Amino acid sequence: MEPSGTAEAAKLLAQARRLVVFTGAGMSAESGVPTFRDALTGLWAQFDPQTLATPEAFRADPALVWGWYEWRRGAVRRAEPNPGHRAVAAMATRVPETVVVTQNVDDLHERAGSAARIHLHGSLFAPRCSACAEPAPVPDGGAEPAEGRRLAPPRCGRCAAPVRPGVVWFGEALPEQALEAAVEAAYRCNVLLTVGTSGLVYPAAEIPQVAARRGGTVIQANPEETPLDAVCEVNLRGAAARVLPALVRAAWGDAAPA
């Protein structure tokens, strides 16, 4: 059964000329990707997030931090894009000026076929030098540590400093270029679809607000109410993997992405 409001949202989506799809952790939940805090289970539950996701933590114990992120990367490698990811890719075939802005650090949008992506919180698949910021090769996964185990990070091929995960840690600013590109896309779009995000983490949560202030239509897909409800034309209650394929079907009559 389609969520209430699907027909109205589909009509608005079908009229999109410049579309922004803004996604959060709920986008990947049904692919089995654990959220940041959900990843602190099992043997990792003995650690506080602040001991694993700050520049200070990496300087103090790079093997512990790198081991956790390699374990997380392994979990993401085993995950598959869900029908919600594929529905987003299908939207771009109907609206050529589609920009995907994600807060997620997995690569599931890419693997589902979405081409224009802005990663606000970085990516597990973009490690870089902790000193000179030189991009580093992505480990092949062969050295993935067991849960709770340390793993020494590789060294930068340019300056020999430890390589760090390419994500945004507590206390760090969002990548300036990515944030500017996201704001620009929201400023220019006439429809913004926000999916699976709490609307609580700033400055990322400002992106839908920018679109609304510029007169764009904001549609939300989320199982729960969020602070973004007030700026949305339509709020679709449900999981991304169910709501988004239904939205594509209703908007363009396409078969649901499987």
Q: Give catalytic residues, as residue numbers.
A: 121
Q: Please check whether residue 215 is in contact with residue 225, taking contact to mean a CB–CB distance below 8 angstroms.
A: no
Provide the residue type at 13 as one letter.
L
What are 97's strand-pairing partners? 18
Is 72 among the annotated ligand-binding positions?
yes
Is 129 among the annotated ligand-binding positions?
yes
Distance CA 165, CA 138 (A): 10
Is 106 among the annotated ligand-binding positions?
yes
Is 220 among the annotated ligand-binding positions?
no
Alpha helices (H) along the chain: 6-14, 55-60, 62-78, 83-94, 108-112, 176-188, 206-213, 240-252
Element holding 19 (H helix, E strand) = strand 18-23
Is 187 among the annotated ligand-binding positions?
no
Is 105 among the annotated ligand-binding positions?
yes
Distance CA 124, CA 13 (A): 31
Is 248 among the annotated ligand-binding positions?
no
Give the 3-state secondary structure of residue 15.
coil
Is 198 among the annotated ligand-binding positions?
yes
Is 254 among the annotated ligand-binding positions?
no
Q: Which DSSP string corresponds to 120-146? A: TTB-TT--EETTT--B-PPP-STTPPP
Is 159 among the annotated ligand-binding positions?
yes
Is 196 among the annotated ligand-binding positions?
yes
Provide the residue type at 120 as one letter.
L
Known binding positions for NAD(+) = 103-106, 196-198, 222-224, 240
Residues of the binding site for Zn(2+): 129, 132, 156, 159
The binding site consists of: 69, 72, 103-106, 129, 132, 156, 159, 196-198, 222-224, 240
Going by the annotation, the residues of the binding site for substrate are: 69, 72
